Amino acid sequence: MSLPPPREVAIQVTGLNHFFGKGDAQKQALHANDLTVHRGEIVIMTGPSGSGKTTLLTLIGALRSVQSGSIKLAGTELAGLNPVQQVEMRRNLGFIFQAHNLLDGLTARQNVRMAIELTATPRADYDRVADAMLASVGLADRASYKPRNLSGGQRQRVAIARALVNKPRLILADEPTAALDKDSGANVVHLLRELANHHGTTVMIVTHDSRIISVADRIVNMIDGHIVSDVRIKETMVICAILKKCPVFKEMSPSDLTDIAQKMTEEHFAPGETIIRTGDIGDKFYVIARGSTDITVESAGATRAVAKLGEGDFFGEVALLRDQPRNATVTTREPVVVYSLSKENFLAAVKTHKSFEDQMSTMLFTRA
């Protein structure tokens, strides 16, 4: 049970607002949103109709101009780009939107070919690459059909093939599996996961389809133009599993644990660094996600090693619960990743679960 190493940032949204209409009729669709997505992550966006999901997705895709705030794609700022620069930006992206935008006069193969023609692929390979992509979405026998002779779900799969064929570094999808049956939907999800794993493709999907949740790394929930939660699925599971071992948290429900996990901050330490020091005021509780640490205490002017804590262990709760200075020093033996919870959030969690106070007093004797 270990965490992946830190990855480069693919999408950085900061203080993003968006307005539709002018004057009295002006309506704010997005309110001060922040979002960080790493390379190779699959992020699902959910939320009620009208909550701003498509608006956010089209802004990230440079299909609309940023009015207020910032969006950076792999470090490049979208705010202030002119229309020509926006078109250039979009060439690196794959879009799967509700309106498929397939060209009616062209066959499925030709629609996919159009995307390949924008790249350095040799002309002689166009058809082979297009057919292979169509086959991977289950349309090997429909390559020469025009959109009007395909079902809604088949058209959607052509649009998906076209979006994925160039292995773009970022794929933006709005309800990509809505019109698909179980098998086709699962197939598309599998393709997206493969691109993310093998090519570092970043994927943002608006969906209510629970089948997709199983392949996602994170779920972002929007309500009324606000991102109200941003859950890192795997990390949250790792943190919850560690918290469950901690007497303070072990009786909590999965949803309470998830709330706590979401309030925790990832921190990285180099070998030999001190995370907490004897005598300091305790301000955080820690769980170790990766690496190991030495615990030392000072007595009679000498430093004595008392324990080694590693992956899945926790520390720092005693000073918070007793409101006393740290009674031990924690130093890393190797690169260490911890998740920390502020004293305020830690005490709030303990307080809402009154019964834990009893367990804690027992624990404090065993971990003094």
Ligand X SMILES: Nc1ncnc2c1ncn2[C@@H]1O[C@H](COP(=O)(O)OP(=O)(O)OP(=O)(O)O)[C@@H](O)[C@H]1O
Least distance from ligand X to the Cβ atom of residue 30, Å: 8
Smaller CB distance to ligand X: residue 44 or 275?
A: 44
In the complex, what is the shortest distance from the CB of residue 52 to Mg ion, in angstroms, rounded to a whole number?
A: 9
Residue 28 or 327 with smaller CB distance to ligand X = 28
Residue from 54, 107, 258, 329 in contact with Mg ion (CB under 5 A): 54
Q: Are 286 and 261 in contact (CB under 8 A)?
A: no
CB 241 within 8 A of CB 255: no
Question: Among Mg ion, ligand X, none, what does residue 331 contact (CB within 5–8 Å per kind)?
Answer: none
Instruction: List Cβ neighbours of 149 (8 Å cut-off, separation of 6 or more).
Output: none
Q: Which residues contact 361 (CB under 8 A, 6 or more apart)?
A: none
46 near Mg ion (CB under 5 A):
no
What binding mask, one character per residue, do residues 2-41 give for Mg ion by CB under 5 A, x or -? ----------------------------------------
Alpha carbon of 195 to those of 74, 188, 335: distances in Å?
Answer: 17, 11, 29
Site for ligand X in 47-106 (CB under 6 A): 47, 49-55
Residues 29-58 that bind ligand X (CB under 6 A): 29, 47, 49-55
**Helix or strand (DSSP H, E) at 294:** strand 293-299
- Nearest-approach distance from CB 87 to ligand X, in angstroms: 20
Min. distance of Cβ 18 from ligand X in angstroms? 8
202 binds, among ligand X, Mg ion, none (CB under 5 to 8 A by kind): none
Residue 55 site contact among ligand X, Mg ion, none (CB < 5 to 8 Å, cut-off depends on kind): ligand X
Q: Please report which residue ranges of the chain form alpha helices under DSSP H.
A: 53-60, 83-90, 108-116, 126-136, 152-164, 182-199, 210-213, 233-245, 254-262, 317-322, 343-352, 355-366
The distance from CA 114 to its chain's CA centroid, rounded to whole angstroms, is: 31
Question: Which tokens in the block code for residue 276?
Answer: 């907490």
Contacts to ligand X by CB under 6 A = 20-21, 29, 47, 49-55
Residue ranges that bind Mg ion, judged by CB under 5 A: 54
